[in-house]
């Protein structure tokens, strides 16, 4: 997958590459994304660094999921809800949380983000994606 230094693919989900829970969610999105809309990149990688230079609102912390949709940056619960909206049912049903206040959904998102390593574990290095899906992962 190649892209220019001034633009990135239309739908990228950035995730904490060493978080076991985050990697599990990415595997679930891979299964649900039958239209192959999403590409994925770890927040620790080169693509995230490029996104940080192109988009000032792109976070430096690893405690958040980031959805870069057509050049617009979405964070935390809003990112998850909007990404779910792109998926077919039943995964699409999770997008209903976009109708709740962001302060509320981000509050619960923050609780999960703070305990994710203790509850789900952490990898030493970002695991390799399945061979048949590697072309959907950006460095």
Mind listing the pLDDT tens digit for each residue in 101-117? 999 999 999 899 889 88
Number of domains in the chain: 1
Task: Please report whether residue 66 resides in a domain.
Answer: yes
Task: Please report whether residue 30 resides in a domain.
Answer: yes
pLDDT of residue 132: 84
pLDDT at 78 over 60: yes
pLDDT of residue 125: 76
Task: Please report whether residue 1 resides in a domain.
Answer: no
pLDDT of residue 60: 86
What residues make up the domain containing 74?
11-127
pLDDT at 5 over 80: no
Residues 113-136 pLDDT 10s: 889 888 888 888 777 787 888 899
Query: Average pLDDT, stretch 68-94?
Result: 92
Residues 13-47 pLDDT 10s: 999 988 888 988 999 999 999 999 999 999 999 99
Task: Please report whether residue 64 resides in a domain.
Answer: yes
Tell me, rounded to whole angstroms, the distance of Cα 129 from its chain centroid.
Answer: 14
On whether the CB atoms of residues 25 and 129 are closer than 8 A, the answer is no
Task: Please report whether residue 41 resides in a domain.
Answer: yes
pLDDT at 1 over 90: no
pLDDT of residue 4: 52
CB proximity list for 83: less than 8 A, separation 6 or greater: 13, 29, 38, 65, 67
Task: Please report whether residue 133 resides in a domain.
Answer: no
pLDDT of residue 121: 86
Dist. CA 137–CA 139, nearest whole Å: 7
On whether the CB atoms of residues 49 and 73 are closer than 8 A, the answer is no
Dist. CA 37–CA 22, nearest whole Å: 18
Task: Please report whether residue 75 resides in a domain.
Answer: yes
Task: Please report whether residue 139 resides in a domain.
Answer: no
pLDDT of residue 6: 58
């Amino acid at each position: 997958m190649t892209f220019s230094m001034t633009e990135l693919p239309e739908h990228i989900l950035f995730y904490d590459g060493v978080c076991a829970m985050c990697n599990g969610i990415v595997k679930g999105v891979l299964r649900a994304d039958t239209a192959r809309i999403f590409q994925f990149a770890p927040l620790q990688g080169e693509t995230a660094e490029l996104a940080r230079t192109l988009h000032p609102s792109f976070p430096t912390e690893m405690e958040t999921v980031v959805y870069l949709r057509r050049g617009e940056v979405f964070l935390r619960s809003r990112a998850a809800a909007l990404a779910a909206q792109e998926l077919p049912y039943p995964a699409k049903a999770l997008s209903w949380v976009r109708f709740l206040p962001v302060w509320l959904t981000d509050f619960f998102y923050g609780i999960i983000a703070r305990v994710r390593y203790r509850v789900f574990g952490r990898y030493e290095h970002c695991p390799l994606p399945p061979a048949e899906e590697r072309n959907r992962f950006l460095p």
